[in-house]
Amino acid sequence: MILPEIVLPPRSFDFPHPPDVERVYLGDFVDLRRKEDATLLNRLDPDKPLVYCSLGSVPRYYPHSRRLFRAVIAASRQRHDWQWVSERGSRAGYR
């Protein structure tokens, strides 16, 4: 028996995939008591495309995370007309 893949983010964050792949989307998990720092949002330009890159709070579980973020940084140097936001989690355990 093949079990469905459980995906944490909402379906709208996923890439298109073949219909034979069964996925269960759990959706958003938001801690309404968490204090957010909105200063970054105030600095974003609504007229520029936004590229957001994150592997969540534990990038150490992804063996190629350092390579991914280096590629994103290299791409950002080529596209000054875009705005870039990345989050790589804590430095503890970062590969």
**Residue 84 or 13, more confident:** 84
Mean pLDDT of the 4-8 span: 81
pLDDT at 1: 62
| Residue pair 7/26 in contact by the 8 Å Cβ criterion | yes
Phi/psi at 51 (nearest 5 deg)? -115, 120
Domain boundaries, the chain: 5-87
- Answer whether residue 7 shows pLDDT above 50: yes
Is the pLDDT confidence value at 94 over 60?
no
Which residue do the tokens 């280096």 mark?
70
Per residue in 35-89, pLDDT tens?
877 787 888 999 999 999 888 777 777 888 889 889 999 999 999 999 999 887 6
